[in-house]
Amino acid sequence: MKRKIDLGILFSRSGTYSLLGEASLTGALKGIAQVNADPAFDIAFRAVTRDPQGNVDAYAPMCEDILRETAARHVIGCTTSWSRKEVIPALERADGALWYPVPHEGFETSDRIVYTHACPNQHLLPLLDHAFARHGTRSYLTGSNYIWGWEMNRLAREIGMRAGGSVLGERYLPLGATDVARIVDEIAELRPDFVLNQLIGPSQYAFLQVMAELRAKDPYFAQGNCPVLSCNLTECELPAIGDAGEGVIAAGPWFRGMPDLAQGEGCDFGSSFEAAAHASVMMLAHLLNDHPGAEMLPLADLLALPKATQMGINARTHHTSLPVVIAQVQDGAFVPLKSMGLVEGDPYLTMGRDTPRPALRVVT
């Protein structure tokens, strides 16, 4: 008989970033079904799902509810960095762990979190290297007005300036806002070499649509000039974007047609969000398999098991080694342009590269 283990699932199925949440939920549920059907595992997961509906204030209470009202000690979930940071106190109070399967901005490790998607040395830095070599170093930065956009653009600004480049403009929109005309008008006037886009959900969709209109009427922006770069755009959002997504260049650990992220175990995924959520479930299952009571171990002890290292989880940073791929939307699908193989997650950018560190100052 398989041991039954509750597993929390915390993704929004509605709201600003619902397509991302749905993709992650799909991946997590595929992982649970695969583990439960596989006789090689002595465990079976029972999904305990909660839907915050895109309300950041609901994440922490729902996470705590999972951990206090059920036997779950692990949660697969959260889509934004804002929601991830919101649940950390709940994880600490209720003695739980979060598996976070979404790209993030780095400069964070937590003894309560395993980061199973890419951090900046696995997405932003390779993407900027690609852009600098092929398009130039004059950038325009835009993003949603919260920590992901702020931190990613701060890092891009510092890296670009160290490379001798310049930031011609930088604009932010509230999450969900679609009034992008001012941003695109400014881009049209400033004529950067590329645009780094950290917008989320409908803001991104509206921005790419108006950028497509600009390309149709201004030759400077046509035929691959001034591409839009992204560290979070995946296949799960392309249907919502349509033809306006053509030419976008993105970095990530997985695009359709690649081997999956969980020890070569086959599933048909729709995006890296889905693949990383599935991989999160599979990695946890391998750690718990043939190890009764392991679900109750502190996360640090669980990640000290030899299996964690074999799966590419760094016990010190809790980040995973991932493939790094640069891909471009061509005819409605991502086509890989460059692959770097496995790269170890380096959230504080301390490994072998002269990269900017946060500038700290005393505020009184």
Tell me the domains of the chain and their CATH numbers: 3-118+256-321 (3.40.50.2300), 121-254+324-343 (3.40.50.2300)
Q: Residue 91, by phi and psi: left (phi above 0), alpha (psi -120 to 50) or beta?
A: alpha
What pLDDT is attached to residue 262?
58
What pLDDT is attached to residue 260?
65
What pLDDT is attached to residue 257?
82
Task: Name residue 334's beta-bridge partners.
Answer: 329
- Closest by alpha carbon to 38, among 290, 270, 309, 261? 290
What pLDDT is attached to residue 351?
84
Six-digit token string for 211: 């950028």
pLDDT tens per residue, range 162-205: 999 999 999 999 999 999 999 999 999 999 999 999 999 999 99
Torsion angles phi and psi, residue 162, rounded to 5: -65, -25
What pLDDT is attached to residue 268?
83
Six-digit token string for 26: 């799909």
d(CA 333, CA 219): 24
- 251, 336 contact by CB (below 8 A): no
d(CA 318, CA 308): 10
pTM: 0.94
Q: Provide the angle, in degrees to the nearest 10, between the axes of the packed helices 18-37 and 272-288.
A: 40
Task: Name residue 249's beta-bridge partners.
Answer: 229, 328
Q: Residue 78, by phi and psi: left (phi above 0), alpha (psi -120 to 50) or beta?
A: left
Q: Which residues 6+ apart lie within 8 Å of 333 measured at CB? A: 235, 238, 256
Say which amino acid occupies 167: V
Six-digit token string for 353: 């590269």
- 158, 128 contact by CB (below 8 A): no
Six-digit token string for 314: 């760094």
Q: Which residues 6+ apart lie within 8 Å of 12 measured at CB? A: 18, 21, 51, 52, 53, 54, 55, 79
Six-digit token string for 164: 């001798």
Q: Which residues 6+ apart lie within 8 Å of 223 measured at CB? A: none
What pLDDT is attached to residue 362?
43
- Closest by alpha carbon to 114, among 165, 143, 75? 75
What pLDDT is attached to residue 352?
66
3-class DSSP string for the chain: CCEEEEEEEECCCCCCCHHHHHHHHHHHHHHHHHHHHCCCCCEEEEEEEECCCCCHHHHHHHHHHHHHHCCCCEEEECCCHHHHHHHHHHHHHHCCEEEECCCCCCCCCCCCEEECCCCHHHCHHHHHHHHHHHCCCEEEEEEECCHHHHHHHHHHHHHHHHCCCEEEEEEEECCCCCCCHHHHHHHHHHCCCEEEEECCCHHHHHHHHHHHHHHHHCHHHCCCCCCEEECCCCHHHHHHHHHHHCCCEEEECCCCCCCCCCCCCCCCCCCHHHHHHHHHHHHHHHHHCCCCCHHHCCHHHHHCCHHHHHCCECCCCCEECEEEEEEEEECCEEEEEEEEEEECCCCCCCCCCCCCCCCCCCCC
Residues of the chain with pLDDT under 70: 260-267, 352-364
